[in-house]
Homo-oligomer: A and B are copies of this chain.
């Protein structure tokens, strides 16, 4: 493997100092156009490739962003990641991919790595609700952004941006839709309580019940973990009840599909016997044979917005107070809920107080 050419090699051939070469390469001012041209042409001839490592060492910038995710096995994160990666590329950044598999110490380890490697910022797509790692980063003023899930720490809220769908509204929409279809006995399979989105979607659902004067029944609220299996278990559990719900809201599509499997396995017709709605609108949900009603969100866009904002923070073109950006969820009605309410609109009165009131913030 032949030696890599550096700016000094170019300098020698061009009869200038290496600084001048640097100036030419980064097209700075204070250089004669002819000199610059000469240098550039030599660089091209030598097939010069700048060494970002050396550059990073002096500039303290790597043009690299860390992406911390629990797992891309969930297609929701896949699409989110795509939005992130493509936007990063457009802005001249690379993404170091870190999947934690829901383990906080792996996350910690990754964060250490990323910082050692000098990433300019980190995107968290699936923050644990009281994540200490994120706290610490926020505390130090390290550039991070929370996407999709968030923590409720005051310290974090005061310092980091957040981009996500309005999960409270989404949960509200899902349950309101079921109510409008005439359902009164509504079961919910929630996500992990470690996750803000699970919490908020559930809370939204509860608010819908309240808004329509339906007394919530304790036994109708099951906690899952966002995986299909837990939806499946939930479905089975509901069916064992003497008075099972007539409609089920699962707080993500994976669990909804699990519920679906449990139901049809027991010979229950969906939606005739029990209606079903999920959350996320992953690709699978739209497939014929599944046809899951769900709450859709713009995942790709979400990733793009987050990346853009983080880069702005990194480059200093955005310096204002932390933002909370809530994307609008969208009701996607498919077979598992019936098609009879296509022109559905969210209650306007609710919309006015739409965005999530964070009254259960963690103070420490």
Measured CB to CB, the residues of A under 8 A from B are 1, 49-54, 56-57, 62, 64, 67, 71-73, 75, 78-79, 81-82, 85-86, 89, 94-99, 101, 106, 110, 112-118, 140-142, 257, 260-261, 264-265, 284, 287-290
A to B CB contacts below 8 Å, 9 in the list:
A1-B140, A52-B117, A53-B56, A53-B118, A73-B78, A85-B98, A94-B97, A95-B96, A96-B96
A72 partner, pick from B64, B78, B89, B290, beta carbons under 8 A:
B78
Instruction: Find out whether the CB atom of A72 lies under 8 angstroms from the CB atom of B62.
Output: no
Q: A50 to chain B: which residues have CB within 8 Å?
A: 116
Alpha-carbon separation in the docked complex, A50 to B114 (Å): 11
Copies in the complex: 2
**Which one of A96, A113, A117 has the highest number of Cβ atoms from chain B below 10 Å of its Cβ?**
A117
Q: A290 to chain B: which residues have CB within 8 Å?
A: 287, 289-290
Alpha-carbon separation in the docked complex, A116 to B1 (Å): 16
Q: A257 to chain B: which residues have CB within 8 Å?
A: 287
Instruction: Find out whether the CB atom of A96 lies under 8 angstroms from the CB atom of B99.
Output: no
Q: A118 to chain B: which residues have CB within 8 Å?
A: 51-53
Alpha-carbon separation in the docked complex, A235 to B108 (Å): 49
Q: A79 to chain B: which residues have CB within 8 Å?
A: 73
Alpha-carbon separation in the docked complex, A78 to B97 (Å): 12
Known: A72-B81, A86-B99, A290-B287. A116 touches B49 (CB 8 A): yes
Instruction: Find out whether the CB atom of A73 lies under 8 angstroms from the CB atom of B62.
Output: no
CB distance from A4 to the nearest CB of B (A): 9
Q: A142 to chain B: which residues have CB within 8 Å?
A: 1
Known: A53-B53, A261-B288, A284-B287. A82 touches B73 (CB 8 A): yes
A71 partner, pick from B82, B115, B140, B288, beta carbons under 8 A:
B82
In chain B, what residue has the closest Cβ to A50?
A: B116
A264 partner, pick from B1, B284, B288, beta carbons under 8 A:
B288
In chain B, what residue has the closest Cβ to A264?
A: B288
Instruction: Find out whether the CB atom of A49 lies under 8 angstroms from the CB atom of B284.
Output: no
CB distance from A22 to the nearest CB of B (A): 15
CB distance from A241 to the nearest CB of B (A): 23
CB distance from A284 to the nearest CB of B (A): 6
CB distance from A205 to the nearest CB of B (A): 25
Alpha-carbon separation in the docked complex, A329 to B315 (Å): 49
In chain B, what residue has the closest Cβ to A113?
A: B94
CB distance from A73 to the nearest CB of B (A): 7
In chain B, what residue has the closest Cβ to A95?
A: B97
Known: A82-B99, A94-B113. A53 touches B49 (CB 8 A): no
